[in-house]
Amino acid sequence: MTLNYLDFEYSEDTQGIGVFDAMASTAPDQAAAVDAEIALVLDWASASFPDRRGPVGDGSDWDYDLQDTQEAGWRTVTLSISGTREFCAAFSLRFALESGP
Residue 13 within a domain: yes
- Domain limits for position 52: 9-94
Q: How would residue 59 be classed by pLDDT, with cut points 50, 70 and 90?
A: very high
- Amino acid found at 34: V
Task: For residue 28, give the CATH number of its domain.
Answer: 3.30.70
Q: How would residue 91 be classed by pLDDT, with cut points 50, 70 and 90?
A: very high
CA 28 → CA 6, 37, 49, 70, distances in Å? Answer: 16, 15, 32, 9
Residue 76 within a domain: yes
Residue 1 within a domain: no
Whether the pLDDT of residue 99 is over 70: the answer is no
Q: How would residue 32 be classed by pLDDT, with cut points 50, 70 and 90?
A: very high
Residue 60 within a domain: yes
Q: What is the pTM of this model?
A: 0.90
Number of structural domains (the chain) is: 1
Residue 41 within a domain: yes
